[in-house]
Amino acid sequence: MTRWIAASLLATAALGLAVPAPAQDARQALLIRNAQVIDGEGGQPFAAAVRIRDGRIAAIGALSPEPGEAEVDAHSLTLAPGFIDTHSHHEYGIEKHLDATQLLAQGVTTIVVGQDGGSVTPVSKLFAEREAAPAAVNIASYSGHGTLRDAVLGQDFKRKATPAEIERMKKLLAEDMKAGALGLSTGLEYDPAIYAAPAEVIELAKVAAGFGGRYISHMRSEDRQVWAALDELIEIGRQAKLPVQVSHAKLAMTDIWGQADRFIAKLDAARTEGIDVSLDIYPYPNWESTLTVLWPERDFQNRATTEFILTHLAPPEGILVSSDDGDPTHVGKTIAQIAQEAGTDPATTAMAMIAAAQAKGGDIGVIGTSMNEGDIARLIAWHGANICSDGGFDSLHPRGAGAFARILRHYVRETKLLSVGEAVAKMTGRSAAHMGLSDRGVIRPGARADLVLFDPATIADHATPQAPEAVATGVDRVWVNGVLAYAAGKATGAHPGQVLRREVSAR
């Protein structure tokens, strides 16, 4: 799984927008008037007022204030459903970030965690912690296959699981599903899941399906074997008969750049067959993970493999070290820079770095530049795509603090790839549908009042690897479950976030 390492710089941006409103009770009626409303279902903005009562949307239209009702004049800003991050790692360290400012500043009101096969175990523990100490945002979780595998196989994981071990994993997954997990997540490119046979994953996916759950996957490959990996995900959907989603979709190898249409064609063919397959994606050409994930055979001292990686997957100047258990002084430098300082070639440097980190029982975290901007745009535009961050607190990658604002700045305002209504749908209604959240991600009577009021002409991301926590600007207010959580460029201190459990039902 992605490692969330200590950030090197902390930067904040004061918005200077509206003055924070007094603390608001979720039961108090509130009328937001003079708004340009986007419903989250693909429609374009329309002028309307929205009434909130008891944490839900009570009415939409040409509404007049009722006696004693609080009012907010939106001044023609855009009012949208709160954004849903369908692939987040913000559960790690959230106890230190209950205000969730970097999320609220982008308009994110719900995070979906337990990704890449790694979840808090049991999931009920995470839910209990967040109910005892709520955050400003809602949280839902998958049950992680890697976590289940680790609990059953321990250190003896470099092999296929036995039938008895699979049965034990199935029982643990069933407990997480009963606790309200959305489904099963996998990280098949990571230890210990990389050693799992496809049949093992299918058996577990069938358990999730039996509870009305879903499957989401960091696939077995995002580069050399991406087509086989995508076929595997689709086959899991076919055999287990449940919705399947590609996590942080990418073509992370120069040899396959420009083949986004081939990727999409496979997904469309599966959907035509009746397989409910979708994807999420973040708007950056670089990823963050461990350096060692690039060696699928785990042959870290194989020079030919290493040179292939640095030529076809990510160039030495495009691999920025975000953590190094072998030598912390490498943080903030590229492999190319480290090699130059050491007077060695990049392949020798990379192999030596891995050996040094592993000698101390650790690893190396990196931000790797491997994707093509044209492929990113094509995948974002696909009708079955929704937006995610794959981000977290205390990470050098800017996506955790910038992904959603970046979509609205770059892909709506600057390149006009998407209309504002299409972009919002990919961050709200479509995201909710892909996660099975029936009463969020839309503005309609009866839906939960997770709302963001923003200026589409100014919303922008500011996070960089040098200032990864620099918050977005252009969001005026955010309500979570009807409670004002963000205004005037800062969190209000309210923590109205809820645990979102899948409706528990076995079939």
Q: Are 141 and 126 in contact (CB under 8 A)?
A: yes
| Residue 422 burial class via C-beta count within 10 angstroms: exposed 0-12, middle 13-18, buried 19 and up | buried
Task: Give me the pLDDT at residue 5, please.
Answer: 27
Residues paired with 479 in a beta bridge = 451, 484
CA 115/CA 27 separation, integer angstroms: 34
The tally of CA atoms less than 13 A away on the side-chain side of residue 398 is: 22
**How open is the CA angle 397-316-321, to the nearest 5 degrees?**
35
Task: Give me the pLDDT at residue 9, please.
Answer: 23
Per-residue tokens: 278: 């979708």
CA 234/CA 215 separation, integer angstroms: 10
Task: Give me the pLDDT at residue 251, please.
Answer: 98
CA 336/CA 245 separation, integer angstroms: 35
- Domain pair 30-81+445-491 / 83-287+372-435, same fold: no
Instruction: Tell me the pLDDT tens digit for each residue of 228-258.
Output: 999 999 999 999 999 999 999 999 999 999 9
CA 334/CA 294 separation, integer angstroms: 16
Q: Are 106 and 402 in contact (CB under 8 A)?
A: yes
User: Cβ atoms within 10 A of the Cβ of 468, count?
Assistant: 27
Q: Cα 112 from chain centroid?
A: 7
Parallel/antiparallel/unpaired status of strands 451-454 and 475-480: antiparallel
CA 112/CA 130 separation, integer angstroms: 13
Q: Cα 341 from chain centroid?
A: 36
For residue 373, which amino acid is it? E
| pTM over 0.85, yes/no | yes
Radius of gyration of the chain (CA): 22
Instruction: Name the DSSP letter for residue 421.
Output: H
DSSP-derived 3-state class of residue 87: coil
Second CATH level (architecture) for the domain 83-287+372-435: Alpha-Beta Barrel (3.20)
For residue 269, which amino acid is it? A
Element (DSSP H or E) covering residue 304: helix 303-308
**How open is the CA angle 433-434-437, to the nearest 5 degrees?**
50
Residues paired with 280 in a beta bridge = 386
State how far the alpha carbon of 29 is from the alpha carbons of 65, 115, 160, 444, 454, in Å: 10, 36, 57, 16, 21
Fold of 30-81+445-491: Urease, subunit C; domain 1 (2.30.40)
Instruction: Name the DSSP letter for residue 151.
Output: H
Instruction: Tell me the pLDDT tens digit for each residue of 433-486.
Output: 999 999 999 999 999 999 999 999 999 999 999 999 999 999 999 999 999 999
Task: Give me the pLDDT at residue 506, please.
Answer: 42
Q: What are the boundaries of each domain within the chain? A: 30-81+445-491, 83-287+372-435, 288-370
Listing DSSP states for 359-417 in one string gives: HTT--EEEEEE---HHHHHHHHHSTTEEE-----TT-SSTHHHHHHHHIIIIIIIIS-S
CA 280/CA 287 separation, integer angstroms: 14
Task: Give me the pLDDT at residue 348, please.
Answer: 98
Size of the chain, expressed as the number of residues it contains: 507
Give pLDDT < 70 ranges for the chain.
1-27, 504-507
Task: Give me the pLDDT at residue 28, please.
Answer: 77
Question: Which of 354, 370, 81, 96 is closest to 252 using CA atoms?
Answer: 370
Q: Are 148 and 204 in contact (CB under 8 A)?
A: yes
